């Protein structure tokens, strides 16, 4: 049976343009009608075209991708897809950007899968370690900023003087919390939280309290 060559392209929202991958695959002599492409949006990683391609692949066929991260979003996903393709399905895989990641056995590439597997393990580990280091540095930066007094989240809202008067009316049962919030042009949740977070005297001494979201509380 004829061994076929397929290509796979995945475009994320950051990349938008698939031309670079398409040109690389066509230069690799992959026929346009055998190139499958998924467009990823946001956190959605459903890949219908990839799944369709998997169903077409047969033992001995070749899958060509431009970069290894087309197979998955992280270390585990990449290795799992590589295992399924090369071990279970016995499909050859060639990664254009990394010539060593080519499982085909030729006169120039006698080791084939062995070297490719080894290189993939190393590259995937390094990539995942770098991602973890970035996350750790971000967390450390946030913690350091907090210790310096930097506040994160929405800006704090200054309490208007009218709040004290409306709070007294609300406490005396002469006005509903919803009406008080409406007059202050804040959410009902915010009004009630300002009340909880301090007495009139406390609010006046500390005229800034966090601003909350909308609420349907009666």
Active site residues: 12
Q: How far is the C-alpha of 17 from the C-alpha of 102, rounded, in Å? A: 25
Q: What is the DSSP letter of 181?
A: H
What gap in Å lies between CA 111 and CA 98, rounded to an integer? 15
Contact 49, 61 (CB under 8 A): no
**92 beta partners:** 62
Contact 81, 70 (CB under 8 A): no
């Amino acid at each position: 049976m004829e061994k076929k060559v397929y290509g796979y392209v995945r475009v994320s929202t950051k990349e938008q343009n698939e031309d670079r991958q398409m040109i690389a695959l066509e230069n690799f002599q992959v026929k346009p009608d055998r190139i499958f492409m998924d467009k990823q949006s946001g956190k959605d990683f459903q890949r219908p075209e990839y799944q369709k391609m998997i169903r077409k692949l047969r033992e001995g066929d070749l899958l060509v991708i431009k970069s290894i991260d087309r197979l998955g979003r992280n270390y585990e996903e990449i290795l799992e897809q590589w295992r399924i393709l090369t071990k279970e399905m016995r499909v050859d895989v060639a990664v254009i950007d990394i010539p060593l990641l080519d499982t085909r056995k030729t006169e120039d590439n006698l080791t084939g899968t062995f070297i490719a597997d080894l290189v993939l393990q190393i590259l995937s580990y390094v990539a995942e370690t770098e991602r973890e280091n970035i996350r750790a540095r971000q967390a450390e930066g946030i913690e350091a900023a907090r210790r310096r007094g930097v506040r994160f989240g929405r800006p704090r809202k200054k309490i208007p003087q009218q709040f004290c008067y409306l709070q007294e009316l609300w406490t005396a049962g002469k006005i509903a919390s919803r009406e008080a919030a409406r007059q202050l042009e804040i959410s009902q949740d915010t009004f009630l939280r300002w009340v909880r977070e301090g007495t009139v005297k406390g609010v006046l001494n500390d005229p800034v309290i966090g601003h909350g979201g909308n609420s349907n509380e009666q």
